[in-house]
Structure 1
Amino acid sequence: MGTTPATAGPRRSVTTRALALATIGATALTCSLVTAQSTVAAASAFPHVAFRLHPASEGHINATARTTPISTSDCVTQIGIHCYSPLQYRNAYDLNPLYQQGVTGKGRTIVIVDSFGSPTIQHDLETFDKQWGIQDTQVQVVKWGNVPAFDPTNADMTGWAGETTLDVEYAHAIAPDAHIVLVETAVAETEGVTGLPEMMDAEKSLINKGVGDVITQSFGATENTFPGFDKGDFSSLTNLRYAFKAAAAHNVTVLASSGDNGVTDADNNNNLYPFKVNSWPSSDPLVTSVGGTQLTLDNDGTRTAPDAVWHDAYGAGGGGVSGIFDRPLYQIGVAGVVGDHRGTPDISMSAAVDGAAWTYESYDPTRVGWHLTGGTSEASPILSGVVALADQLAGRRLGQINYNMYVLKLLPSQWSGINDVTVGDNGWNGVAGYQAVKGYDLAAGLGTVDGYKFVHALAGR
């Protein structure tokens, strides 16, 4: 069971980390696209309702979903955005040679934490796998607390179900033989009461039981919204770090999405700050912060342009410096960029809505079918699969990978597998962002990865 802190601070908004693109009905393409652009842009400015944790994958527009996914070229001509399958991501991130070597995540466990979960996750994953020729796996569902019965008319629950679907399908797609543990928590509320403490309790419990090699988290709260922040008292946040400390002690890798609002994020009234802010847990030095890129691929998953920082009409990858945490030792080499504070992100993966991922969802009987989703909630589970591959190759848990990544970045990319991202910026909602440059930056971090080279480099083999 989750526990409630003895002293609960004011309830605060917590955003989760993806923007959902419209589910496009086959007979309403033009209308759907126009609606999607206006609605998703609005969701980016006001991404959630006060006092509740909200799922990353909410905001689907049409009740009618596609019966089958369409190709990237058809998405571009019919919808006006790029869309990608898991097979395209596998090719783009150079993962197929690893699978051919037998590196598939076998023997490793990825833990995914979401409120409420999805009652159809096993069926949806099997449908997803069948479409793309990926081997099935049995998702282990762990209910933490008194998880209420799923109500498909409850927008909170269906939103979290969308997040759950994205997380599970893409972690599995990248590491197909890894065991997936889905932790469903009972409360989608604020960290001051039971929301984040419940999630942290669940993570710590599994860590202490030896369950999980990699944890992926697609949620976050703006640092400035924690009680005491404006007075320099950060204890309401730092008291929540116990799960990450346990992870460090047990060599468990912890990932978190960096955000979908560029260098800003939501305040307690769900308006975006008019200045740069950062969010936790992405900003935690014990966590690997996963930012967002925009991939431009053909139908086979071959790049037709260099990766850029995610910044399209729907959102931008989160990044910046923490207002709470000092610069960690592993960032001493980029002190000229981050100053005296923790900088995010550390690394970036696909997140653009104009480059959205296909998911299959049936938890809502009015909108069963194939949907498109983007955001850094896509990036974090993708990287969790990559880390699971590296864990398998290394024959052990790699734990806190940030130290290794910042050292690897000193090597040529053909050895490190870390490719620089030098195009784009993460400004959003009128707040000027950071420009991607050669080397580390606060838009894409160290860059992105060539999976084959990165996995071998990270594993030391």
Structure 2
Amino acid sequence: MRTLPAAARRTALAATGIAALTLSALAGTAPAGAVGGPQVHSKDGTSWVRACDTLAKGDTMACHALRVTSTTEAVQALGVTPNATPSGYGPADLLSAYKLPANGGAGMTIAIVDAYNDPNAESDMAVYRAQYGLPACTKASGCFKQVNQTGGSSLPANNSGWAGEISLDLDMVSAIAPNAHIILVEASSATMGNLGTSVNTAVSLGAKFVSNSYGGGESSADTSYDSSYFNHPGVAITVSSGDSAYGAQYPAASKYVTAVGGTALKKASNTRGWTESVWLTNSTEGTGSGCSKYDTKPTWQKDTGCSKRTIADVSAVADPATGVAVYQTYGGSGWAVYGGTSAAAPIIAGVYALAGTPATGTSPASFPYAHTTSLFDVTTGNNGSCSPSYLCTATTGYDGPTGLGTPNGTAAFHS
């Protein structure tokens, strides 16, 4: 059985602090700090909990969503507030930070793979999109599909922790590629077999971009999972690198995927208008990176300090202290702020979609390596101590925590 890193076992399921509502009022959620409740993490005045660390029996994968609990929202707890802005970065911020075009994604289909069901997925996404003036994306119009792991309409059991992950994923794809169609594929449980089957289903339903925001410890079975679930030429598959600081996780370690690390993203007075550094909170909280024990190195990776697959490839915002706005009502109470590499993976999937459909037979994970000058190189910060140091410390050019860097437009994400 796959084992999660110790840091990824912590109990978590809490809603963010939102005006007029308290944590203890949330249905099915223990108050932060309560006995048996979620473990609260904090740094520099920001606190958060992990959304999916209480694993159901048999589950081997945890989502990488971090829900901020210290935010006081300036908007109404529920619904659209036209004259107020939710806390956390919204679509305009993300497009500005990564120099991306607005109103993109037309003609593209992006799939999101998660475990369990969010019964409010469609309605919550509708509120997020309406709040930010994005076009509606509904089941009725054919823009949105919500299916089980084999493509059917009988959805798995509801899960309020994974619902936060689902809301985060849907909102980030909406923010980056608002005119794309979206398929949410919900696995019956959080095992690699069920999640991998969901990836295959997403591709069979026509998605050319598939976002995965979950992971667990590596195992000797990973190479077989590679061939069974992730070898899809002509499809861009993104995977979050993990939130447990230095140390490889799977499926980010798959040689067939784009492993996405995490940064702290801050507004600045420089030419870009933003700065980024490696996201690290402490020795067990921060963006994942590492050298795989099992997966062979893809031909496009040229770093010499790891003879096998190196994680990550690229990165995007993930620090909960510089988190993104999300709308969630199942297991949440409306507007919230989220972080974690679970935010970064769907952002990068959206950027791939903005860049256009990958050519048949290509390996989209290789595209950034052919366009390194079209990325913002992240050169400060670390996610631990390791040897060689570039596997955990940012440097000029490629490094483990942030890969080749973050998007500077879309040029690095097509062949």
TM-score interval w.r.t. the shorter chain? 0.7 to 0.9
1:178-228 alpha-carbon deviations (Å, 9 max, x no partner):
11000011123xxxxxx2111212222342x351101110111111xx3xx
- Equivalent-residue separation in structure 1 for 2:257 and 2:263 (angstroms): 19
Residue 56 (structure 1) aligned with residue 64 (structure 2): yes
State the match for 1:153 in structure 2.
none
TM-aligned CA deviation for residue 28 of structure 1: 8.0
1:99-132 alpha-carbon deviations (Å, 9 max, x no partner):
3xx7x11111111111123111111111111111
- Equivalent-residue separation in structure 2 for 1:288 and 1:199 (angstroms): 17
- Equivalent-residue separation in structure 1 for 2:199 and 2:293 (angstroms): 25
Residue 390 (structure 1) aligned with residue 324 (structure 2): no
Does the CA contact (< 8 Å) of 2:222 and 2:295 recur in 1?
A: no
State the match for 1:200 in structure 2.
196
Q: State the AA in 1 paired with 2:227.
A: Y
Does the CA contact (< 8 Å) of 1:291 and 1:347 recur in 2?
A: yes
Residue 438 (structure 1) aligned with residue 370 (structure 2): no
Residue 401 (structure 1) aligned with residue 364 (structure 2): yes
> Counterparts in 2 of 1:311-460, with a 5 A limit?
311-312=280-281, 315-332=285-302, 334-335=303-304, 338-364=305-331, 367-391=332-356, 396=359, 399-409=362-372, 413=373, 417-427=374-384, 434-451=392-409, 455-459=410-414
Q: 1:301 to 1:129 in 2, by over 3 A?
A: farther
State the match for 1:116 in structure 2.
116
Does the CA contact (< 8 Å) of 1:350 and 1:376 recur in 2?
A: yes
Identity percentage over the alignment?
28
Q: 1:63 to 1:316 in 2, by over 3 A?
A: closer
TM-aligned CA deviation for residue 303 of structure 1: 6.0
- Equivalent-residue separation in structure 1 for 2:194 and 2:262 (angstroms): 27
Does the CA contact (< 8 Å) of 1:83 and 1:354 recur in 2?
A: no
Residue 281 (structure 1) aligned with residue 281 (structure 2): no
1:284-341 alpha-carbon deviations (Å, 9 max, x no partner):
111110000110027x999655210111369311011111123221112x22xx3312
Secondary structure at the aligned position of 1:262 is classed as: strand
TM-aligned CA deviation for residue 399 of structure 1: 4.6
Q: State the AA in 1 paired with 2:18.
A: G
- Out of 7, 14, 23, the residue aligned to residue 16 of structure 2 is 23
Does the CA contact (< 8 Å) of 2:375 and 2:412 recur in 1?
A: no
Q: State the AA in 1 paired with 2:255.
A: P
Number of matched pairs? 375
Residue 92 (structure 1) aligned with residue 97 (structure 2): yes
- Equivalent-residue separation in structure 2 for 1:290 and 1:420 (angstroms): 14
- Equivalent-residue separation in structure 1 for 2:334 and 2:230 (angstroms): 40
Which has a greater percent of strand? 2
Secondary structure at the aligned position of 2:260 is classed as: strand
- Out of 232, 237, 246, the residue aligned to residue 247 of structure 1 is 232
State the match for 1:3 in structure 2.
none
1:230-264 alpha-carbon deviations (Å, 9 max, x no partner):
xxxx2x2222223445412xx1111100010110x
State the match for 2:245 in structure 1.
262
Q: Which has the higher contact order (CA 8 A, sep 6+)?
A: 1
Q: State the AA in 2 paired with 1:424.
A: G
Does the CA contact (< 8 Å) of 1:20 and 1:374 recur in 2?
A: no
The structure having more radius of gyration, on CA atoms, is 1
> Counterparts in 2 of 1:141-220, with a 5 A limit?
141-144=146-149, 147-150=155-158, 157-188=159-190, 195-207=191-203, 209=204, 211-220=206-215
Q: Under a length normalisation based on structure 1, what TM-score does the superposition of the two structures give?
A: 0.72
TM-aligned CA deviation for residue 456 of structure 1: 3.5
Does the CA contact (< 8 Å) of 1:22 and 1:372 recur in 2?
A: no
TM-aligned CA deviation for residue 457 of structure 1: 5.0
Does the CA contact (< 8 Å) of 2:241 and 2:259 recur in 1?
A: yes
Q: 1:167 to 1:93 in 2, by over 3 A?
A: same
TM-aligned CA deviation for residue 136 of structure 1: 1.2
1:76-121 alpha-carbon deviations (Å, 9 max, x no partner):
xxxxxx83122211111111xx33xx7x111111111111231111
- Equivalent-residue separation in structure 2 for 1:308 and 1:113 (angstroms): 28
State the match for 1:140 in structure 2.
145
Q: State the AA in 1 paired with 2:394.
A: A
**Any unmatched runs of 5+ in structure 2?**
25-31, 43-47, 139-143
Q: Under a length normalisation based on structure 2, what TM-score does the superposition of the two structures give?
A: 0.79
Residue 40 (structure 1) aligned with residue 41 (structure 2): yes
Q: State the AA in 1 paired with 2:411.
A: H
Does the CA contact (< 8 Å) of 1:40 and 1:59 recur in 2?
A: no
The two structures, once aligned, show a CA RMSD in angstroms of: 3.7
**Any unmatched runs of 5+ in structure 1?**
1-9, 76-81, 151-156, 189-194, 227-233, 264-276
Does the CA contact (< 8 Å) of 2:65 and 2:341 recur in 1?
A: no
Which has a greater percent of helix? 1
TM-aligned CA deviation for residue 175 of structure 1: 0.5
Secondary structure at the aligned position of 1:240 is classed as: helix
